[in-house]
């Protein structure tokens, strides 16, 4: 496959692509990468994951429980996503600027993943398409900008089609024949697109596990009146059809079906006439709001002249401002790119805000995981680390132990008996204090998980430490229980006998840190207790944990 016409020299370049010269984009010039290479984009509420061939899905608040679009995990085929089709209405030639799903040969192809956006640039024959997808910071939506250019000396008649499948709830909805009967779609001429609702949501509620509607109204809208629409999958693909060769784009056309009892999709058609050398631009908006009125207000906001580009500039500026608090400069450009941009972006967008990717899409908060990750904010926006500490303290039990993970929206979680989770609360709290000297934070009262009791953050931390100190084995080391930080050793201590050398070292470190903290606060008696425990633990680790 031919490379893109844009041939800038890339950092860490390989046969598939590399980082742009400024490091802000990862440029993929060959769509057939060994595995999907994805961008996880999230503003903290709305998120999406998109591969180099437009595979992936979108969500609001929870990547698993409140998924907008359907997706099935298949890293070999990578054929579930949100897609564009370009059809030459004179010849019938059909192709996709993201390669998938049509897989027609492209004369040039580039996918650019960056902070907050992904751009596809493709050319087939004398038609060039640019497709930009981004998530604004202040909307529960994603915005698609599609630009078509006629590079020939003759007029061209084209049709642009979109395709995605609605989920609107927990994903993957493997029992689709059941779930589809609760989906309802409606075409809105006023809003230039499709609205969707789901009259069931697979989460606990006062009305039972199933008997509640999905929380909002989803939308897929166009900046101009569409020339056709379809919300029924079978009508679009055809019986035994596939997204690679939709029957509606070759034979039947879009039927204009909406309502109930269909396998709900969102397909819009826009006819485009391009003069020689001419171009056209369209915007599409995918997202959700609490009510149809909220959706209408969102559509009005985003459809104002210049609004999309203003949102794009604002989004780029917000990401740049977030990361510019610290910078690393070394003789190695690759190290600089990773440390200054991409590792920060992965920690924030993928780990903390999205909590999703292609391998795992739990949407849950891990007590250990997101506390660890929140340290990225210490050098950028420490108030966000503070907020993460507060959140996790609220998911600790009064006896000091903590949920291993929990789901926002439902607040259901797993009390999995992991031995190290609870210690990350005092550990990260100390790191926060080192950076901010916000000592008053230790006095802030915070509730415990599903308890009327509350205690200061300091007591939350000491209860965690005391809980671990109170469960040690015959060698004086902490019990590993269901597992420690090394997931490869999970379940080795379920019978209450196994001990963890790693946890002993971690606990020793936390004790030493807390001795200094308690001394500074004048809590000398507690400080002396922890100092003695640290000395005993040091002896135990050096005796039982050393074979040299």
What are the pLDDT digits (tens) for 125-166?
Answer: 999 999 999 999 999 999 999 999 999 999 999 999 999 999
What are 253-282's pLDDT values in tens digits? 999 999 999 999 999 999 999 999 999 999
Q: What are the residue ranges of helices labelled H in 279-381?
A: 292-303, 307-323, 333-337, 343-345, 367-373
- d(C-alpha 13, C-alpha 7), whole Å: 12
Is the Cβ–Cβ distance between 412 and 406 less than 8 Å?
yes
**φ and ψ at residue 541, rounded to 5 degrees:** -65, -45
Q: What are the residue ranges of helices labelled H in 207-328?
A: 233-237, 247, 292-303, 307-323
Of the candidates 376, 388, 507, 372, which has an alpha carbon nearest to the alpha carbon of residue 435? Answer: 376
Tokens 């019978």 locate to 495
pLDDT (mean) for 207-219: 91
- d(C-alpha 493, C-alpha 174), whole Å: 35
Residue 35 has a pLDDT of 96
Share the mean pLDDT of the chain. Answer: 95
Q: Delineate the domains of the chain, giving CATH numbers in brackets.
A: 17-323 (2.70.98.40), 364-544 (1.50.10.10)
Tokens 């069931």 locate to 200
- d(C-alpha 60, C-alpha 171), whole Å: 12
Is pLDDT at 195 greater than 80 in this prediction?
Answer: yes
Residue 4 has a pLDDT of 44
Q: What is the CA radius of gyration of the chain?
A: 27
Is pLDDT at 6 greater than 60 in this prediction?
Answer: no
pLDDT (mean) for 25-40: 97
pLDDT (mean) for 55-73: 97
Helix (H) and strand (E) counts in the chain: 13, 26
The model's pTM: 0.95
Residue 3 has a pLDDT of 40
């Amino acid at each position: 496959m031919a490379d893109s016409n844009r041939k800038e020299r890339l950092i860490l370049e390989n046969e598939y692509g590399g980082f742009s010269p400024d490091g802000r984009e990862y440029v993929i010039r060959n769509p057939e990468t060994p595995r999907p290479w994805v961008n996880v984009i999230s503003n903290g509420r709305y998120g999406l994951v998109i591969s180099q061939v437009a595979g992936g899905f979108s969500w609001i608040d929870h990547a698993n429980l409140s998924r907008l679009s359907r997706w099935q995990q298949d890293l070999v085929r990578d054929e579930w996503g949100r897609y564009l089709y370009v059809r030459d209405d004179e010849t019938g030639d059909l192709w996709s600027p993201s390669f998938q799903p049509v897989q027609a040969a492209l004369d040039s192809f580039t996918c650019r993943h960056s902070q907050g956006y992904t751009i596809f640039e493709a050319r087939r024959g004398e038609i060039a398409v640019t497709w930009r997808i981004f998530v604004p910071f202040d909307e529960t939506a994603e915005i698609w900008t599609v630009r078509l250019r006629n590079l020939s000396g003759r007029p061209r008649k084209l049709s642009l089609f979109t395709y995605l499948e609605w989920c609107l709830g927990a994903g993957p909805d493997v029992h689709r024949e059941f779930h589809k009967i609760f989906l309802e779609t409606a075409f809105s001429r006023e809003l230039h697109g499709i609205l969707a609702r789901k009259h069931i949501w697979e989460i606990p509620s006062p009305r039972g596990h199933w008997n509640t509607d999905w929380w909002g109204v989803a939308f897929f809208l166009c900046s101009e009146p569409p020339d056709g629409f379809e919300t029924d999958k079978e009508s679009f693909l055809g019986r035994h059809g596939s997204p690679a060769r939709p029957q509606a784009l070759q034979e039947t056309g879009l039927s204009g079906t909406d309502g109930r009892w269909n396998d709900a999709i969102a397909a819009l058609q826009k006819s485009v006439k391009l003069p020689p050398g001419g171009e056209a631009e369209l915007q599409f908006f995918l997202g959700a709001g609490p009510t149809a009125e909220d959706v209408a207000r969102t559509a009005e906001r985003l459809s104002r002249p210049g609004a999309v580009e203003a949102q794009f500039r604002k989004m780029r500026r917000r990401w740049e401002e977030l990361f510019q608090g610290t910078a690393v400069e070394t003789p190695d450009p690759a190290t600089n790119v990773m440390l200054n941009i991409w590792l920060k972006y992965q920690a924030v967008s993928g780990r903390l805000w999205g909590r999703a990717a292609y391998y795992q899409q739990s949407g849950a908060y891990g007590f250990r995981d997101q506390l660890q990750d929140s340290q990225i904010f210490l050098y950028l926006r420490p108030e966000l680390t503070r907020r993460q500490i507060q959140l996790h303290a609220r998911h600790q039990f009064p006896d000091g132990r903590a949920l291993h993970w929990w789901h926002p929206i439902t607040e259901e979680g797993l009390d999995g008996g992991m031995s190290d989770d609870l210690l990350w609360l005092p550990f990260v709290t100390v790191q926060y204090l080192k950076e901010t000297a916000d000592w008053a934070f230790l006095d802030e009262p915070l509730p415990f998980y599903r308890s009327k009791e509350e205690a200061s953050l300091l007591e939350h931390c000491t209860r965690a430490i005391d809980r671990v100190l109170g469960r040690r084995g015959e060698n004086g080391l902490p019990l590993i229980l269901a597992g420690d930080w090394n997931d490869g050793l999970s379940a080795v201590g379920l019978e209450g006998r196994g001990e963890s050398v790693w946890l002993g070292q971690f606990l020793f470190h936390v004790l030493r840190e807390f001795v200094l903290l308690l001394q500074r606060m004048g809590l000398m008696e507690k400080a002396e207790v922890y100092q003695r425990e640290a000395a005993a633990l040091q002896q135990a680790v050096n005796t039982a944990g050393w074979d040299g």
